[in-house]
Every structure is written in structure tokens, then in C-alpha cells.
Structure 1
Amino acid sequence: MSESLVFENSELTEMCRYVVSSGGKRLRPALCILSYFACGGKESDVPVSIGAAFEIVHSATLIHDDINDQGEIRRGRKTLHKEYTLTKAIVAGDCMFTVGFRLLSNVRSKIVDYIVEASGAMGAGEFVQKDNEHYSDVTEDDYMRIISGKTAKLFEACAKSGAYVADGTHEEVEALGEFAYNLGLAFQIIDDALDVTGDPRDMGKAIGTDLLEGKPTLPIIYAMQDKAHGSEIRELFEMPSIEHEDVVRALRLISSTDSIRRCMDKAREIAEKAVVFLDSVSESVYKDSLRSLAGFVVDRDR
């Protein structure tokens, strides 16, 4: 990916490469590449290029997300706007979007349709989440709609793109899209649960940031339903500004409820649903890897 991020301005190149060099799970390109080969694709350059495009677009959204959330640490390093400047980080994110789309300029137009639709869904999902910060009446269905846009639709687009350029059948393309979409939902639920229970050293960032920012995540929604502690958690969540000691207390209260268990059960249920869609795909080592990916998503600790 880094070789695609070259600009006339050396600092801009450095900034964009700083973002993609910080690691990450690379699930999106993995979905694209595995779906491609699961549908009989033969040329490795094709899915790798498309997967890189999706990962670069995803990385661009993270730059802007960190700015919106005033985040300071991601993957164990300073966020881009903290390492450089706010205004330059905004521009770097914009430039990374253009690189992502440029990498798709030589592929079939359908792939561009997929990424455009997913990008729009991501923006809409983030907007709705932002619009509901510190709003304690957000429902589980509301939450699922938010993460559908901000996470699952891009997962879906990655898998469908890989399957499509491999000339997979319509049934295979749709099945792999459904698999990845549901995997994205499960991934985000686990991600939000880890913001309560994760180890900051493993996560590469502080925990409790969702609560601090007032994001209505599923662990918080479930915890606010608790008979013993729900009212206090709700009160803390609704506070427009919350002190560190209150965040610590809220995390302790959430952990004392059945919220995390319910989140894990929900994520596993969705991941199991995802795997069923793989029945429409022929057996192969690539299908096995996709199945294993579903297990990784729900069992991870970071």
C-alpha cells in the first residue's frame, strides 16, 4: 500500500504512510483476496490492488474519525492530527480517499459502485452516531443500523468486489457479501465490548473512549437496561462532560452487569449466521480461511 501513497509533497507522503504503517488487522483486504480466490480467481495482483484501495479508503476515514472524536492514540501511536497538525491531517485524509479511488480506475465499474455505496453508508452511519451522542434512549435496532453503515457495508463491499472480479456467479457474489456484512456487524459489536473490557496495552489505545465520547454502543445500551445499575450508568452516559474517575466507575458498573456476555452472545450468533452463507461457495482452503476469520473476529482480545 505504501508505494501507492506518493505525492509531490514529501511531508504529505510521510503522513499518509504513517497511517498505513501503524498496522491493523487488514480484515478488509483479506475479505477481498479470500473471496476472489474462493470464486476461482487466478491472478494475485488483481485482488491485492482492490484490497489495498479499500484499506486506504478505510484508513482515510480513521483519520477523520480521530479528528471528530479528538482521539490522541491509535494502534499504540499518536493519531495523525496529534503527530502533525489538525489542518494537515484533514487534507491527508482527503488525499488518501483520492488514492483509494484512483487504484480502482482500471477495474470494472461495478467495483467503483460498491466502494461508493459503502463510503456513503460509512458517512451516514458516523453522522447518525454523532447525532445520538449521550442520548440514552437509543435502541438496539438503532445501534445495528449505525454499525451497518459505519462498518458492515464496507466489509460487504470488499468481499463482493473480490468475488465479482473473479467472475463468481451471482449467487456466490451475494453470498460472500452477506457473509462479510454479518461478519462486519459481529466485528463491531466485539470492538465495542473491548472498549469496556480490553487491555489498553493490547488495544493500543485507552479503553472507555466510547463512554467518554457519549457513543451509544451495544454494551452501554445493554448495561442501561440493568435493574441494579442501569439508572446510574444512564446518568453517567448522559453527562455531556465526564471526568476520568466517572469513566472508571461507569466501566466497573458496566462490567458488573450481563452486558458483555449479551454482546458476546449476540456477536457469536451473527458470526454463526455469517458462516451459513458460505454454503453457497465451493469447498476450498480459501473458504476454510473465511470460516476461520469468523472465529477470529469473535474470539479476539484486541
Structure 2
Amino acid sequence: MTVVGPFGLSVRDQTLETDVQAGLADVEEGLIEATKSDVPFITDAARHLVRAGGKRFRPLLVMLGAQFGDPYAPGVVPSAVVVELTHLATLYHDDVMDQADVRRGVPSANANWGNSVAVLTGDFLFSRASHMLADLGPDAVRIQAEAFERLVTGQILETAGPQAEQDPIDHYLDVIAGKTGSLVAVACRFGAMMAGAEESHVSVLTQYGERMGVAFQLADDVLDIASDSAESGKTPGTDLREGIATLPVLHLRARAAHPDATAEDRRLCALLDGDLTDDGRHAEALAGLRAHPALEQARRDTVRYAHEAREMLAPLPECTAKAALSGLCDSVVHRAG
């Protein structure tokens, strides 16, 4: 058994491992080339998060999806670069909105250069992704545009919050399906589509990616509460400090609103309603959530979405790529655990 990439995918087939590793190496070269500007300052800012590393989860899914067709087809690597550039651009914007100081274990772009430069650098990455898309054909442009619309819609819905009659947990799951699931689904779709896979296989992989994206984000929600900064690359409780209600918090609030709520449910919920920019209060809230059943409920939800993603793979032919995609479901569960 070997391990491919920082996400920790176990691969048992040497040919698949070689293909995936070679593809990811080409993606890295593509990212460096795509973030090069005639202005050295822009190059430094655009490459800031590229150099910081990352799991390259979406390019990995492109490579695995391509295994159901011709993995060496010319559009495979460029489509992976497009997806990762889009993802990186959203990180620049997210860090501005969240006022984050750390990303991938290094100072965020906004911490280094200020909000305006971070936003504009994200826009620069979007423009480079669009330029590459134009060479992949109108279908690719349309698919990316639809996914980007969903991504932005998800961000707007998160900012606006749920409507009065809407369950906050249902609203949140809709948000992350747009913000995260849409682009992960595109990664799987592009890989299979660019490789010339059968249309039915492209459809299956797209649906798998949608559920995998939600599971992946829910695992991040758990990590934001349960991990240390060395594991997640972010300051623990960043979302908590910024008042972003991730799934563990939403489960806590649902419990606190129930007639059978415990005194601890209500106490911890009241703590979260206070000023979490205070380090002591933040630390107390973080410790409380780590010990609360709401965190375990969020873990169970993560497992459920990962299981649904695995079930989506059933119609695909048995092969090492299918086994690897199934293995990613195990990796997400382990990540949340």
C-alpha cells in the first residue's frame, strides 16, 4: 500500500499511483505558470497560497475521474489547474470575509498585504482560470460558470442567514452544497469528461463529487473545533471566533432550543452568544464544544455524507480508480474522527 498526496489517499496499484502522481506534478507546474505575472508583486501574492501547499483534493479527484477514460487526454491537467485556481481564489476572498490571520499554516494574504490586495489577487486567479477555460471548450466554460454561480449563491446565503421559517441546519447544508460541493463535483466531472468517459460515468462521478464535497466541508467543521493548528493549518476555532455557525454550533443551538435542553446546553449556547474575540471566552467555548455531544453529532453527519458518496459509485465498473474513490470516503471519515 502506498500513499498519494498530502490528503493521504491509499493506492494499491502501481500504475494508478504513477498516473496520479504524474498528473498532480503537472498540476503543480501548471499552477506556478498560471500565477505568473509581469508584475513581480502580483506573482508573489498570487503564488502565496500555492507555495503554502494544501491537500490538492480537487486536482486529485480530476485525476481519478480521468481514469474512467483516457487519463492522458490533453484537457485533463488544465482542467485540474482551473479547478484548483478557482478554489484558491475563493480562499483569498474567504479570508478577507472571515478576517482570518492564518491559512495553510502561513499568514493569510490579507494579513500580509491587506484586504484590498487579497481581494484583487483572488480576482486575478479567477481571471487566469477563465483564460484557461476558454481553451477547454464552451461546455467546460458553461459547467464552470454554473458551478461558480452556485458557489457565490452559497456564500450569499451564508452571509444572509436562514429565513425565519427555515431550519438552520437544512440551510447550512444547502450553503455548503453550493460553496464546496459544487466545485468538488466539477472536479470529478471535468476529469471524466476531459478523458472522454461514458456519459453515464460522468454523471455518477459528478453526483459522487457533490456528496464528497459536503462530507469534506463537514469534516473541516469538525476539525475547526477538534484539531490543533498543526493538523488543520488554521487557528483552532477560527470560525467560532468570527461568529460563523458551523455544523457543531448549529447542533448545539438546536439542542439548547429543545424543551429537554440541559443546563450545560444553555450555558454553552449563551457563551457562544457573547464576545468570542475575548481569548478567555473563546478558549472556554472551544473546550465546551469539544466535550459536547453536538460535536459527535456533526461527526455522524460527516460519516453519513461520506457513506452516501460511496454508494453513488456503485454503477461504476470495478477498478482501482473506483477503489481509490471509495477509499477517499474512508479518509474523510478518518479526518473527522
Instruction: Determine helix, strand or coil for the equivalent of 1:153.
Output: helix
Q: CA deviation at 1:238?
A: 3.0
Q: Give me the TM-score of the superposition, normalised by structure 2.
A: 0.84
- Out of 47, 59, 84, the residue aligned to residue 29 of structure 1 is 59
- Out of 266, 269, 272, the residue aligned to residue 231 of structure 1 is 266
The runs of 4+ residues in structure 1 deviating greater than 4 Å are none
- Out of 112, 129, 132, the residue aligned to residue 158 of structure 2 is 129
- Comparing 59-68 with 256-265, greater Cα deviation is found at 256-265
Q: CA deviation at 1:64?
A: 0.8
Deviations 1:231-254 (A, max 9, x none): 223323333664221111112222
Contact 2:177/2:214 (8 A) holds in 1: yes
- Comparing 224-233 with 23-32, greater Cα deviation is found at 224-233
Aligned to 2:310: 275
Measure the CA separation in 1 of the matches of 2:268 and 2:171.
19
Measure the CA separation in 1 of the matches of 2:276 and 2:282.
10
Aligned to 1:266: 301
Deviations 1:151-202 (A, max 9, x none): 1111111111111222222221111011111111111111001111101222
Structure 2 counterparts to residues 201-216 of structure 1, below 5 A: 201-216=230-245
Structure 2 counterparts to residues 142-153 of structure 1, below 5 A: 142-153=171-182
Measure the CA separation in 1 of the matches of 2:145 and 2:268.
38
Is residue 2:34 matched to residue 1:4?
A: yes
% identical equivalent positions: 27
Contact 1:138/1:221 (8 A) holds in 2: no
Is residue 2:327 matched to residue 1:298?
A: no
Pairwise CA RMSD: 2.0
Contact 1:212/1:247 (8 A) holds in 2: yes
Letter in 2 for 1:55: E
Is residue 2:319 matched to residue 1:284?
A: yes
Structure 2 counterparts to residues 1-302 of structure 1, below 5 A: 1-37=31-67, 39-43=68-72, 45-132=74-161, 139-224=168-253, 225-226=255-256, 227-228=261-262, 229-239=264-274, 242-300=277-335
Measure the CA separation in 2 of the matches of 1:111 and 1:291.
26
- Number of equivalences: 299
Measure the CA separation in 2 of the matches of 1:132 and 1:197.
24
Q: CA deviation at 1:255?
A: 2.1
> Which runs of 5 or more structure 2 residues have no equivalent in the other structure?
1-30
Letter in 2 for 1:28: R
- Comparing 180-189 with 101-110, greater Cα deviation is found at 101-110
Contact 2:299/2:336 (8 A) holds in 1: no
> Which runs of 5 or more structure 1 residues have no equivalent in the other structure?
none
Instruction: Determine helix, strand or coil for the equivalent of 2:314.
Output: helix
Q: Give me the TM-score of the superposition, normalised by structure 1.
A: 0.93
Contact 2:54/2:104 (8 A) holds in 1: yes
Q: CA deviation at 1:5?
A: 1.4
Measure the CA separation in 1 of the matches of 2:78 and 2:107.
28
Letter in 2 for 1:51: A
Measure the CA separation in 2 of the matches of 1:287 and 1:91.
39
Measure the CA separation in 2 of the matches of 1:180 and 1:42.
18
* RCO higher in structure (CA 8 A, sep ≥6): 1
